[in-house]
Amino acid sequence: DAKTTQPNSMESNEEEPVHLPCNHSTISGTDYIHWYRQLPSQGPEYVIHGLTSNVNNRMASLAIAEDRKSSTLILHRATLRDAAVYYCILRPGHNAGNMLTFGGGTRLMVKP
Amino acid sequence: ETGVTQTPRHLVMGMTNKKSLKCEQHLGHNAMYWYKQSAKKPLELMFVYSLEERVENNSVPSRFSPECPNSSHLFLHLHTLQPEDSALYLCASSPEPGLLGANVLTFGAGSRLTVL
C-alpha cells in the first residue's frame, strides 16, 4: 500500500491560515487522498478527499500537487476547536474494500 | 453525535472477565468496522463487515470475537484479555465497501478499555 508522510506536529495562531502538508510519493493513479482529523477524546472525523483536482468544502480546502505526490490541507482560519491530530490517508479507488490505513498524523496546536 | 454510537464509553475489566463492546449506526450504512487505537500507535484495523459478513480480519487474536447481527449493529466480544489490550476501540461505518471515491468512514467516539 502507498504510504503517507506527515510532520509529527505543527503550531498555528488562532484566526490564521494553516497549511498541513502530506507527502505520498508512491501514490498510484487510482488512489484517492483522504483527510481525517481526531479531536481530543473523540473518534476520527472526515474532513475532505480528492483525486486530482483541488477541492473545497465548508471545513477546509485540499490542494493536490500536479504530480499528485504531495497534498496540502488548508484551514483558512484556525480556531481553538481545530486543535486535533490530522491524518492524510490514501484509499485505493479500485479496491473492493475500504481499508483506510492511518499513519501517525500531524498534531496541530492552535495558540490563542 | 456522529450517527455512530458506542457503548460503554469506558470499561475496566480483569483478565478473566468476559465483556462486550457495542456499536450502533443509524446512517443506513452497509459496512462496519472495528479499529484499535493504542497509546502512541496508529489506528489499527481489526475487523470489517459488509452486509453482515466479515470481509477482513487483520490477524486479530481470538480473544477478540466480533459479531454483526444486522447492518446497524456491531459487537466486539472480549474474553481473557491481556493488559496490552488496553486501548481505545473505535467503531466506524460507511455506505458501502468499494464504493469509489466518496466512500467515507463515520466513526463513533470510541470505548476506552482498561485491562487490569
Q: Note the pLDDT tens digit of each residue in A39-98.
A: 988 999 999 999 999 999 999 999 999 999 999 999 999 999 999 999 998 887 665 445
Q: Which of A42, A51, A99 sits opposite B109 (nearest CB)?
A: A42
The pLDDT score that the predictor gives to residue A96 is 46
Question: Closest Cα to residue B25, out of B2, B52, B56?
Answer: B2
CA distance A22 to A15: 22
Flag if A98 and B55 touch (Cβ within 8 Å): no
For chain A, say whether B80 makes contact (Cβ under 8 Å). no
pLDDT(A23) > 70: yes
Identify the weakest region by mean pLDDT among A44-48, B55-59, B92-96: B55-59
Tell me the shortest Cα–Cα distance from B50 to chain A, in angstroms.
Answer: 9
What distances in angstroms separate CA A15 from CA A12, A38, A80, A82, B65, one per listed residue?
9, 20, 9, 10, 46
For chain B, say whether A104 makes contact (Cβ under 8 Å). yes
What distances in angstroms separate CA A30 from CA A3, A57, A98, A99, A102, one per listed residue?
14, 22, 14, 15, 18
Tell me the shortest Cα–Cα distance from A33 to chain B, in angstroms.
Answer: 9
Flag if B92 and A49 touch (Cβ within 8 Å): no
pLDDT(A103) > 60: yes
**Residue pointed to by grid coordinates 466512500:** B103
The pLDDT score that the predictor gives to residue A75 is 97
Mean pLDDT of the residues in chain A: 90
User: Taking the mean position of all CA atoms in its chain, how far away is CA A28?
Assistant: 17
Entry field: residues in chain A:
112
* pLDDT above 70: percentage of residues in chain B: 95
Tell me the shortest Cα–Cα distance from A18 to chain B, in angstroms.
Answer: 23
